[in-house]
């Protein structure tokens, strides 16, 4: 295996990360992308795919940071811009949903449908 022969070969870790990601081993995939980045800090593609894994893991802020780094390293990286926008949209939707819980609900105090789950708790 390439990693056994040359343990400082960033591309080998990157490629293994791709395969593990495809197989659904997200945590192992992330570790391999991280190792590729450690070995080659200018590896825009590794940051991009790291962002993809973090997005799937619902670590949205970390995903945005990875996409931002990929864009910093490669300003014409269209896929990184696209995926960053998708994650930003998800964050905005999540924030909007969370804000709904901060607002009082204007309903009748005897609304059984609304209060039944609370009373049964």
Pinpoint the alpha helices (H) of 57-111.
60-73, 78-100
Structural domain spans, the chain: 2-120
Secondary structure percentages of the chain, helix, strand, coil, to 5: 75, 0, 25
User: What CA–CA distance (Å, rounded) separates 61 from 84?
Assistant: 10
Q: What is the pTM of this model?
A: 0.77
121 or 51, which is more confident: 51
C-alpha 48, offset from chain centre? 10
The tens digit of pLDDT for each residue in 92-104 reads 888 777 776 666 6
Answer CATH for 2-120 from 1.25.40.10, 1.10.1060.10, 3.40.30.10, 3.40.50.300: 1.25.40.10
In 10 A of CB 56, how many CB atoms? 14
The tens digit of pLDDT for each residue in 65-118 reads 999 999 999 999 999 999 999 999 998 888 777 776 666 655 555 555 554 444
pLDDT of residue 93: 87
User: What CA–CA distance (Å, rounded) separates 17 from 32?
Assistant: 5
* Coil, strand or helix at 6: coil
* Coil, strand or helix at 111: coil
């Amino acid at each position: 295996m390439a990693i056994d022969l040359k343990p400082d070969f960033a591309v080998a870790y990157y490629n293994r990360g791709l395969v593990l990601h495809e197989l659904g081993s997200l945590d192992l995939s992330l570790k391999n992308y991280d190792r590729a980045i450690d070995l080659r800090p200018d590896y825009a593609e590794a940051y991009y795919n790291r962002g993809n894994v973090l997005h799937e893991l619902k670590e949205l802020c970390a995903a945005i940071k990875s996409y931002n780094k990929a864009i910093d390293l490669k300003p014409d990286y269209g896929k990184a811009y696209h995926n960053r926008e998708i994650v930003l949209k998800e964050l905005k939707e999540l924030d909007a949903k969370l804000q709904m819980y901060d607002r009082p609900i204007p309903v009748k105090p005897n609304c059984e449908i609304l209060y039944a789950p609370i009373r049964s708790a």
